[in-house]
């Protein structure tokens, strides 16, 4: 009798749920990508916070994305969670984002900013976007 109970009724029920969840989150990420035109619009929208997550040495070499603030990749989550609104404003001259604020993350090519995007979305910043091309895309579009 125990053999008839073992065929994975629970596994078959849980596997589709897990795959559905993964599929949904993968689908949800696609609209959270921003490209050059989106960055141009965001730079003129004070309600959007653009964060350049590259390292200080990279920023020193190229400058940061116009209209952005600089928070190194490894410090973004902690900065968003731990700085008071006043300290955030004093440090970055921008209002601290709420969980509803549209945040666009950028790095050199979009890989690191994509990782930060996932990290802060898990913290409840559901309007976190990734500038897919990053600084390289910005620079190439500025030259044309």
The residues that are catalytic are: 107
Distance between CA atoms of residues 76 and 78, nearest Å: 6
Residues 6+ apart with CB under 8 A from 127: 100, 101, 102, 103
Distance between CA atoms of residues 68 and 102, nearest Å: 13
Distance between CA atoms of residues 106 and 116, nearest Å: 9
Region of 26 on the Ramachandran plot (φ > 0 left; ψ -120 to 50 alpha; else beta): alpha
Distance between CA atoms of residues 16 and 20, nearest Å: 6
């Amino acid at each position: 009798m125990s053999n008839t109970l073992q065929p994975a009724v629970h596994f078959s029920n849980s596997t589709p749920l897990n795959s559905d969840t993964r599929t949904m989150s993968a689908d949800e990420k696609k609209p959270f990508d921003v490209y050059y035109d989106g960055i141009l619009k965001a730079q003129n929208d004070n309600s959007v916070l653009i964060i350049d997550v590259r390292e200080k040495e990279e920023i020193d070499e190229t400058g940061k994305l116009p209209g952005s603030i600089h928070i190194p990749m490894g410090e973004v989550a902690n900065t968003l969670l731990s700085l008071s609104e006043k300290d955030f404003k004093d440090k970055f001259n921008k209002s601290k984002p709420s969980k509803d604020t549209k945040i666009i993350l950028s790095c050199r090519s979009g890989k690191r900013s994509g990782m930060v995007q996932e990290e802060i979305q898990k913290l409840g910043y559901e309007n976190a976007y990734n500038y897919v091309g990053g600084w390289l895309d910005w620079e190439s579009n500025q030259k044309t």
